[in-house]
Each structure stands twice: as C-alpha cells, then as structure tokens.
Chain A
C-alpha cells in the first residue's frame, strides 16, 4: 500500500497542494490532468527527488518521506526515457544492479532475462541513440523493472509513441503488472489509456486532486465542471435546477429536462452522447426526457457519426452510420432526442469555481 498523506510542495510554477491518495498493492493507478497541473512534481516527490514541504509518503506502513531515492525501491520512467547515452542498452539495464554491487554474472543473467521479457534481447549491444521510440521505451522500462521495484512510476510513458506502439506497450504493461505484481502509478493526459489500463484514476487540476475513482465511475459522475470538460464528456449543459418529486427539474435554453439528482441551484448537467437516442417521431418509452430539436451538424468519426442538435441548447448524440442513413438526417431536419433521467449527471456550480479552458 502506497499512501500519500496531505502532501504539499511548491516548485517554481508547479505546485502540489494537500494531495491525499491511497494506492493498494498491485493497482494500476493513473493520474490525469492538463499540462502544468503538477502531475510530474507529484511523481518526482513520490520518487524522492524533491522533499515535500508538508505531508507524508508511507509505503507498506513505513514512512519514506525523508528517505533518499535510492533507498525507496521505487522505479521511475520519464516521458523522454532518459536513457544514458554513453552506455549500451545492456549497460543501461544493468546500471541499477551495478549500484547494488550485484556480481557481473548475475547482472548479465538479469539483463538477459529483462531483454527476453520486453523483447529487446537483440538490442543489448546497441547505443540508445540508434533505437526507435518504442525500443527506447522498453529499455527504460527494463532498466527500472530489473530492480524489482515495489512501485513503478511512469511519467507520460506513451505520449511520444505512435498509436500502434502505444497499444502494444499498454498490453505489455498490463502483462508486466500481472507477472510482477508491481504497483504502477502513471500520469498521462491521454484519456484513451485510462480505459484500457487503469484500475482507478485521479484527476488533477492546479496542484489539487479533484476526483479519485474507477474510470467508469469518474466518467459517469465527474466531480466538477473541470473534470467533465477535461474528460471530454460530450454534453455539458448549463442551467438552473429545482426539485420536482424525486427528480431534479433543469431549465436550460428555454427547455426543461429531468435528471435523477438532488442537486439544486445553478448547475452543469453532463450527458454522454451515447445515451441520447434520436428519432424522427416522438419516442414513447420509459425515458423521462424527449426534446424536440433540429439537426445543425453531422460529423463522421470513424465508424460512428456525431450528430449535433439544437434543442434550445446544443446537444450531441452518437449514431452508427447506418442509423444516420436510415433516419435520413440532414442539417435543418426536425428530430426528437430521448434520454433517461438517470443518464444525466448534475454538477453544482459554485461561484468561485475556476472554469477550465484548454
């Protein structure tokens, strides 16, 4: 178990404020947030590069806040891999073992084993500068993993890779985690990685952790407008909410719709485009909301089509190409948008809340 207890550190323009996280053994934990949110500083503080101003870091019940990085048994892989250019791949992987005065024989065996595990055994005599991005990534992982760290910290490990390599390395990371049981804490600003890799995620904004939870939970119920915008939830509707029985009645852009929520006052309602059904006639169903509107835009995205409606406010829905064709949708066409009250998530808007703009 890795516990971060109200950790604060200020480093130039970057800061981390009162961050608390509990990461159980073997978890794949991803921290997401925009550039400048303090993600890397947080990771470097966990690794021991910087001393926090306040707070504690506890690993397996032991306070490691004041421990030197070399005594923490925490591995770190940076975005640009930071392979030592004056050493061969084998020299890079064996670097940590040499510090621990492991015998030459055992160094060689461990390097071979790592080379096999990560599929870089044929590169051991090369210098890092001659490797591709994906290969460098594997060497950096091997260099950290050969020490069998308790926790592996990954600083945007895939951001410099093409999408195919990224997918392959994602699969390998999952396999490595399974094989070694290492706890992995990764930071990223790609949320595609979040769904495939993470057991849990934390969202960071301006040095604060604004939400922690399982990816699906966070995507369905973002804690604030920043999280919702950062996660690119398709529909964010500003309005005013009031109670109506067990539901919230939300007025926005001259329209009214209902949400299963108890939040009242000034709100932002989030709604995933996948949860919106489009029909040419009013759709009779158990769904509470059925709004009339006109199509204003049709954007093909891969195998699906993104339909933008004006129902008094802009509303986005996702359809398959086939349904889009069957409905003979086109700009200006009058349609009905149906969605369940339970699909709408309501976030209260406080006056001081900073608005996130990318």
Chain B
C-alpha cells in the first residue's frame, strides 16, 4: 500500500512538474526576456496588477462584515443566503460572466449605472467587477471559517474590559483572524490575476484596452504569436507559485481550499 501510494504520488508529481517545465523552457531565456519588453505584455502585466489589487481590496472590504455575520449571527434565511453567497464558487466563470453581461447590458439598473458613469461592459472597470463577483465567495468562505473558529467569549471578555462591540472586533477578533485574512487575500489576488472566463464575457478581449495577462495569452495564441503567449503563461505560473508559497508560509493551519 505504501509503495503503491508513493509511486502514484511520484507519478502525479512528475506529470505536473514536467508539463509546467516544458512550458517555461519552451522559449529560450533571451526571447522570454525580449517578450517582457514588449509593450503589449507590459500593458497586460500593469492592467492585471491594477485590476487584481483593486478587486482584492473590494473583496476584503465586503467579505469581512459578510463573513462575520455568517459566522456569528443567526437570522432568517441564513442557509439560503449562505448557499447563494457560495454559489459562484462552483459556478463556471463563463456563466458568471454572461450573467453579469446581461445584468449590466439589458436591465434598467445596469443602464442607469452606465449613464451614471459606471460603464462596465467592455471596459477595464468590467474586469474589476468580474473579478470581484467570481472571487468574493472564496474570501467570504475563508474568512467565515476563520471567524467561526474564534470563541465569541474572547469578545465577551473584551467587552467587560471596556471595549465597544466594534472595538472588540477590531482589537480582538480581527487580529485573531489575521491568518485567515492573509490567506484569503493571497488566494483572492492570485485568482484575480488569472481570471479569464468572466472577464472575457463582461470586459471583452480588446488589445491594449482590456488585455490582462490571461487575455493576452488567449489573444496571442489565437493569432499564432506563441512566444508572447508563452511569456504571459510563464508570468502567470510564477505568480501562482509565489502565491502558493505565500499561503504555505503564512499559515500552515488554515485550510484554504
């Protein structure tokens, strides 16, 4: 049993690492570095970083109160709320994307938002919206379990020691949940960097306009520019690796997935 399972582990490890290594080693280093100097790739890197940081920040701000409510309070419809809040987790991002497209494109609210200057369809703003929609449930889930694992009596004690409810939350619960918060942030950010389906649907794939790294990969592979596509892919691999190392380093106890 031991030998068999170890053999399988080695096999799977070999498949994954060889596949990724082939991709990374596909273009010689000088061509890879040359691609990095390409304005299109540079634009994609910049846009990816800006949109992913923005969407991650929004996710944190929204998810903290939502996750806290789900972890601490009972309210009517809590189970349904939990289900709907976590549904985008299992939803294909393409479906989320088309739902967003229809919401912003065909409903009166969507058009009202657009005329108010909040145009999301085929704009960089749409990238942020798509990333938030897809990633928020991850953040909520991770934070919810982080909050739920903290005994409410810590807050009770803090209150007898002079804290308001908000004070107890910010001075006790949030610092105690910091590992979950960091893990959630890293996961959300790396997923935002790699988000493709929802972004493609809502923000489109316009060169040098809504071209994030995954979109650049897609556009370049469809036009046959394999070197640029590989460059974008390689950058994404390193980002994933860095994010994973981050999570592993930050927390060995919090289960992210």
Residues of A bordering B, CB below 8 Å: 44, 47-49, 68-70, 72, 74-76, 78, 80, 82, 84-86, 95-96, 99-100, 143-144, 147
CB-based nearest B residue for A96: B161
Q: Mark B131-155, 1 if CB is under 8 A from A, else 0.
A: 0000000000000000000010110
B157 within 8 A of A: yes
In the complex the two chains form, what is the Cα distance from A65 to B139 in whole Å?
39
Chain A nearest CB, measured from B77 CB (Å): 20
**Chain B 150-184 interface residues, beta-carbon cutoff 8 Å to A:** 151, 153-154, 156-164, 167, 171-172, 175-176, 178
Question: Are B161 and A82 touching (Cβ within 8 A)?
Answer: no
Contact of B160 (CB < 8 Å), options: A76, A80, A84, A100:
A76
Q: Which residues of A contact B160 (CB under 8 A)?
A: 47-49, 69-70, 72, 74-76, 144
Q: Residue among A69, A75, A78 with the most chain B CB within 10 A?
A: A69
Question: Are A99 and B163 touching (Cβ within 8 A)?
Answer: yes
Chain B nearest CB, measured from A197 CB (Å): 22
Q: Which residues of A contact B172 (CB under 8 A)?
A: 84
CB-based nearest A residue for B178: A86
Question: Are A95 and B153 touching (Cβ within 8 A)?
Answer: no
Q: Which residues of A contact B157 (CB under 8 A)?
A: 76, 78, 82, 143
Q: Which residues of B contact A85 (CB under 8 A)?
A: 176
Q: Which residues of A contact B176 (CB under 8 A)?
A: 84-86
Q: Which residues of A contact B153 (CB under 8 A)?
A: 78, 80, 82
Chain B nearest CB, measured from A48 CB (Å): 7
Q: Which residues of A contact B178 (CB under 8 A)?
A: 86
Q: Which residues of A contact B161 (CB under 8 A)?
A: 70, 75, 95-96, 99, 143-144, 147
Q: Which residues of B contact A70 (CB under 8 A)?
A: 159-164
In the complex the two chains form, what is the Cα distance from A244 to B164 in whole Å?
64
Q: Which residues of A contact B151 (CB under 8 A)?
A: 80, 82
Q: Which residues of A contact B167 (CB under 8 A)?
A: 99
Q: Which residues of B contact A99 (CB under 8 A)?
A: 161-163, 167
Question: Are A82 and B154 touching (Cβ within 8 A)?
Answer: yes
Residues of B bordering A, CB below 8 Å: 151, 153-154, 156-164, 167, 171-172, 175-176, 178
Q: Which residues of B contact A100 (CB under 8 A)?
A: 162
CB-based nearest B residue for A146: B161
In the complex the two chains form, what is the Cα distance from A100 to B154 in whole Å?
18
Q: Which residues of A contact B164 (CB under 8 A)?
A: 68, 70
Q: Which residues of A contact B162 (CB under 8 A)?
A: 70, 96, 99-100, 147
Offer 11 A-B interface pairs, CB within 8 angstroms, sorted by A: A48-B160, A49-B156, A70-B159, A76-B160, A78-B153, A78-B156, A82-B151, A86-B178, A100-B162, A143-B157, A147-B161
Known: A70-B160, A72-B160, A82-B153. 4 other contacts (CB 8 A): A74-B160, A75-B160, A86-B176, A99-B163
Chain B nearest CB, measured from A42 CB (Å): 14
Contact of A49 (CB < 8 Å), options: B159, B171, B175:
B159
Q: Which residues of A contact B175 (CB under 8 A)?
A: 84, 86
Q: Which residues of B contact A75 (CB under 8 A)?
A: 160-161
Q: Which residues of B contact A80 (CB under 8 A)?
A: 151, 153
In the complex the two chains form, what is the Cα distance from A211 to B162 in whole Å?
34
Q: Residue among B153, B154, B159, B160 with the most chain A CB within 10 A?
A: B160
Chain B nearest CB, measured from A325 CB (Å): 52
In the complex the two chains form, what is the Cα distance from A147 to B162 in whole Å?
9
CB-based nearest A residue for B172: A84
Q: Which residues of A contact B171 (CB under 8 A)?
A: 95
In the complex the two chains form, what is the Cα distance from A75 to B162 in whole Å?
10
Q: Which residues of B contact A68 (CB under 8 A)?
A: 159, 164
Question: Are A84 and B156 touching (Cβ within 8 A)?
Answer: no
CB-based nearest B residue for A99: B162
Question: Are A69 and B159 touching (Cβ within 8 A)?
Answer: yes
Chain A nearest CB, measured from B151 CB (Å): 7
Chain A nearest CB, measured from B41 CB (Å): 42
Question: Are A95 and B158 touching (Cβ within 8 A)?
Answer: yes
Q: Which residues of B contact A96 (CB under 8 A)?
A: 161-162
Q: Which residues of B contact A76 (CB under 8 A)?
A: 156-157, 160
Q: Residue among B156, B161, B163, B178 with the most chain A CB within 10 A?
A: B161
In the complex the two chains form, what is the Cα distance from A242 to B172 in whole Å?
63
In the complex the two chains form, what is the Cα distance from A143 to B158 in whole Å?
10
Q: Which residues of B contact A47 (CB under 8 A)?
A: 156, 160
Chain A nearest CB, measured from B178 CB (Å): 7
Chain B nearest CB, measured from A50 CB (Å): 9
In the complex the two chains form, what is the Cα distance from A292 to B162 in whole Å?
64
Nearest 8 A-B pairs (CB), nearest first?
A: A99-B162, A96-B161, A69-B159, A76-B160, A70-B162, A86-B175, A82-B157, A49-B156
CB-based nearest B residue for A77: B157
CB-based nearest A residue for B176: A86
Chain B nearest CB, measured from A68 CB (Å): 7
Question: Are B156 and A44 touching (Cβ within 8 A)?
Answer: yes
Q: Which residues of B contact A147 (CB under 8 A)?
A: 161-162
In the complex the two chains form, what is the Cα distance from A143 to B178 in whole Å?
23
In the complex the two chains form, what is the Cα distance from A85 to B161 in whole Å?
16
Q: Which residues of B contact A44 (CB under 8 A)?
A: 156
In the complex the two chains form, what is the Cα distance from A44 to B172 in whole Å?
19
Chain A nearest CB, measured from B152 CB (Å): 9
In the complex the two chains form, what is the Cα distance from A76 to B153 in whole Å?
10
